[in-house]
Amino acid sequence: MNPVAVSPSRLLTIEDDPVLGAYLHEQLGRCGFDVIWCQNGLEGLARARQEHFDVVLMDILLPGMNGLQVLTQLRQTHALPVILMSALGAEADRISGFQLGADDYLPKPFSMAELRVRIQAILRRVALDRMPGAPTVQELPPAESGLLFDDEACDVRRGEQWAGLTRSEFRLLDTLQRNADEVLSKAFLYQQVLQRGYAAHDRSLDMHISQIRRKLKTIGYYQHEVRTVWGKGYVLSASDAP
Amino acid sequence: MSLVPAMPRKVPGKNSVFWKLACLLVVFCLLMIWLSWSWGRYMDKRTGFLSEQAHGTLVRYAGEAERAWESAQQAGVDQWLQGMGHREPGWVGVIGQDLQSLSSYPLSDRESERLTFLRGLDWPISHIKTARPWIKVPFPRDPSAGSLVIELPQRFMPGRSQVIWRIVTNGVIPGLLTLLLCVGLYRVLIVPLNHLREQANAWRADQLGARLSSQITSRQDELGELARAFDQMSERLQSTVSQQQQLLRDLSHELRTPLSRLRVACDSEQGGEALRERLGREVDGMQRLVEDTLQLAWLDAERGPLPVEDIQVQALWEMLTENARFESGWPQSRLPCLVDEHCWVRGHLNSLAQAMENILRNAIRHSPPEGIVSLDGRREGNMWHLWLDDQGAGVAPEELERIFAPFTRLDGSRPGDGGFGLGLSIARNALRLQGGSLWAENHGGGLRVHVRLLAGHAA
């Protein structure tokens, strides 16, 4: 999944619950991450400042220092990705978490698979950000696909027919097109295209996909279509019936 | 909410307590001024005249002087005056029409001068001057013959009772009236406040059902407004508390079901894999229940409007039916959208999608095999009126409103396993928060759920 990182990614988990903390430590280690586990907010902040980490995973209710305070302090000096996880599922906490600069917010309880998807989405986005210039490999040669991507206009066209995509829709289709035939998780698409964390009730991405499908259908483009892969994400692939 | 009355106005309204107070005080001040002025004058008059007794005595003296004049002319008067000198210490004289003395005593210049401003018997006596006035009393039988002039004896001077009257008119009566005014003001202003205090104390004692008497709430002025606001506040407080209690009761009741199933699974001899699968299922169910309840509580607590955007209903429907098709296995042909692509509404995407999804799930769950669930609508002014039809058995008319209450599950009449009965409740709250409304009716062949939303503009 992560072709850029050669050495295992370093994770810092700040979680005071011994059962959940130990479980995260063990499971994430098994997934191939290098995991450091702190049980205290202050200690976690100190380590995050001194050492190098790829992602910080943090609870909100913590002894020593509250997770939101740690985030505020950390953001003054460091830009490293932070995932908040909390049993405080309330919308207000999610919003204040994002306002303080959290990259994602995961309400407890969550499954290990869900957490892995979120971490990988962030790692992948960071890796793409670090790449010197986007890869200009056109997965779909214009002549063959019949769909032309215009970065300037932020739109696509088939012949002389413009689809009339919005900026977000164009970015989304562009991302899918660059990774054609690969299933991209919703968490990654949120990070990459909408630049925010993914929440269960957030339907913006689904709505963008729905609009892209409608607009491609309107200009009569049927060679490829955006498909939903249930429980995983979206993929742009060749249609069964052209 | 619209229950809050208009905020501070510059000019007090028609029914304001300001006018009441102003009228009361102005009338009171004018009354006081008039009262003290007119009473003072009246009392001055009453006490400024000679008493009956003084009147009688002076007339009697004049009669005596007349008799003395008639009997012996000048000598008689001299003799009578001599006798008078013993009876009255002040100046006494008898004069004729020409203001000349009828006695043998000549008048000094000063006395002559004083004779030019004599006072009559019926004239008011000034109480400001301390000098005793000279009174002219004409002879009773023949006033043209002459008059008696007498310095008013000290004992007949009016004005001793004047001080007492002054205290009464200028002190005691205004004081009493002011006291009455205070009682009036207290009744107007403080008594309603005492009622409010009693009500607040009742809340403190957890009697949330306590209400103010209609006597106060029906007042038209600010205190009436305050009392009504107070009553509305307690209404809202009571309903919120009872809703919360109901929610808590329902939630714990709902949690009992998966917990007891888990208990059974725990006690049974099931193998590891089956147990784990069951555990996962029950945990998922409980998690959904908790999330839905939190969502409902959040929607209920959220007072401000949600951020809205323009949403194309066709795209929304395609997104929702894609999920629904996956969950239910229905083909797209059984989920038609009858509104065209020009139908755009203004709403909060996430909560609108969730609301519509809940309505759609509900419709699918209660549909017969091969049933159709369709979305249709029409433009009504600046609103879009959408409706979602299913072909299920419908709902009993008296239950049409109850299906929107949390944890309501109608048993028997409609097929389907049902969720927790939170979906429609969440949908209604979500639509309310974005300025829309949600209601249901039976339409012959099933249930029709109506949605009204502000119309939007195509992006």
What are the CA-CA distances from residue B349 to residues A89, A93, A142, B434 (Å)? 20, 20, 34, 10
Question: Quick one: tokens of B272?
Answer: 């590891």
pLDDT score recorded for residue A4: 46
- Per-residue pLDDT band at B2 (split at 50, 70, 90): very low
List pLDDT tens digits, range B166-179.
Answer: 787 778 888 898 89
Percent share of chain A, pLDDT over 90: 36
Nearest to A89 among B291, B326, B341 (CB): B291
pLDDT score recorded for residue B315: 93
List pLDDT tens digits, range B151-167.
Answer: 888 777 766 666 777 78
Q: Which residues contact B267 (CB under 8 A, 6 or more apart)?
A: none
Please list the residue range(s) of chain B that carry CATH number 3.30.565.10: 309-454
Per the model's pLDDT, the better-predicted residue between B218 and A142 turns out to be B218
Compute the nearest-CA separation of A211 from chain B (Å). Answer: 6
Question: Contact, A18 vs A35, CB < 8 A?
Answer: no
- Per-residue pLDDT band at A183 (split at 50, 70, 90): very high
Per the model's pLDDT, the better-predicted residue between B311 and B248 turns out to be B311
**Residues on A contacting B at a C-beta cutoff of 8 Å:** 89-92, 107, 109, 166, 200-204, 206-207, 209-211, 213-214, 228, 230
How high does pLDDT run on average in chain A?
84
Residue in chain A lying closest to B312 (CA): A211
Question: A210 vs B319: CB contact, 8 Å cut-off?
Answer: yes
Interface membership of B315 toward A (CB under 8 Å): yes
Question: With 70 as the cut, is the pLDDT of residue A132 above it?
Answer: no
d(CA A66, CA B443): 55
pLDDT score recorded for residue B303: 62
Interface membership of B312 toward A (CB under 8 Å): yes
Question: With 60 as the cut, is the pLDDT of residue B418 above it?
Answer: no
List pLDDT tens digits, range B19-32.
Answer: 888 888 898 889 88
Question: B295 vs A201: CB contact, 8 Å cut-off?
Answer: yes
| Partners of B138 in the β-ladder | B147
The answer for B370, left when phi > 0, alpha when psi is -120 to 50, beta otherwise, is left
Query: To probe the interface with A, which of B332, B350, B360 has the most A CB atoms within 10 Å?
Result: B350
Is the whole-model pTM more than 0.90? Answer: no
Please list the residue range(s) of chain B that carry CATH number 3.30.450.170: 50-156
Best CATH choice for the domain B50-156 from the list 3.40.720.10, 3.30.450.170, 3.30.230.10, 1.10.10.10: 3.30.450.170
d(CA B278, CA B265): 8
Residue in chain A lying closest to B324 (CA): A230
CATH assignment, B309-454? 3.30.565.10
d(CA B415, CA B411): 8
Percent share of chain B, pLDDT over 70: 92
Interface A–B counts its CB contacts (< 8 A) at 48
Question: B318 vs A214: CB contact, 8 Å cut-off?
Answer: yes
d(CA B373, CA B430): 22
Most distant CA atoms of chain A, gap in Å: 62
Per the model's pLDDT, the better-predicted residue between B291 and B441 turns out to be B441
Question: B311 vs A203: CB contact, 8 Å cut-off?
Answer: no
Please list the residue range(s) of chain A that carry CATH number 1.10.10.10: 142-238
How high does pLDDT run on average in chain B?
82
Interface membership of B354 toward A (CB under 8 Å): yes
CATH assignment, A10-130? 3.40.50.2300
d(CA A131, CA A141): 23
* Least confident window among A23-37, A214-228, B219-233, B373-387: B219-233
Residue in chain B lying closest to A200 (CA): B350
Element (H, E) at A13: strand A10-14
Tell me the mean pLDDT in the region B243-270: 82
List pLDDT tens digits, range B139-148.
Answer: 888 888 888 8
- Per-residue pLDDT band at B7 (split at 50, 70, 90): low
Backbone dihedral angles phi then psi of residue B141, each to the nearest 5 degrees: -85, -45
How is residue A79 annotated by DSSP? -
Question: B294 vs A90: CB contact, 8 Å cut-off?
Answer: yes
| Residues in chain A within 8 Å Cβ distance of B459 | 166
| Residues in chain A within 8 Å Cβ distance of B351 | 201
> Which of A124, A133, A128 shows the shortest CA–CA distance to A1?
A124
> Which of A137, A112, A127, A185 shows the shortest CA–CA distance to A6?
A127
Residue in chain B lying closest to A230 (CA): B326
pLDDT score recorded for residue B8: 53
Pairing of the two strands B383-389 and B447-454: antiparallel
Nearest to B315 among A92, A207, A230 (CB): A207
pLDDT score recorded for residue A153: 83
pLDDT score recorded for residue B339: 92
- The class level of CATH for A142-238 reads mainly alpha
| Residues in chain B within 8 Å Cβ distance of A207 | 311, 315-316, 319, 349, 353
d(CA A219, CA A215): 7
pLDDT score recorded for residue B414: 43
Residue in chain B lying closest to A203 (CA): B350
Residue in chain B lying closest to A108 (CA): B287
Question: With 70 as the cut, is the pLDDT of residue B360 above it?
Answer: yes
d(CA B448, CA B387): 6
Residue in chain B lying closest to A107 (CA): B291
Query: To probe the interface with A, which of B309, B322, B356 has the most A CB atoms within 10 Å?
Result: B322
Compute the nearest-CA separation of A42 from chain B (Å). Answer: 31
* Least confident window among A209-223, B365-379, B409-423: B409-423
Nearest to B350 among A89, A202, A213 (CB): A202
CB neighbours of residue B80 within 10 Å? 23
Question: With 50 as the cut, is the pLDDT of residue B4 above it?
Answer: no
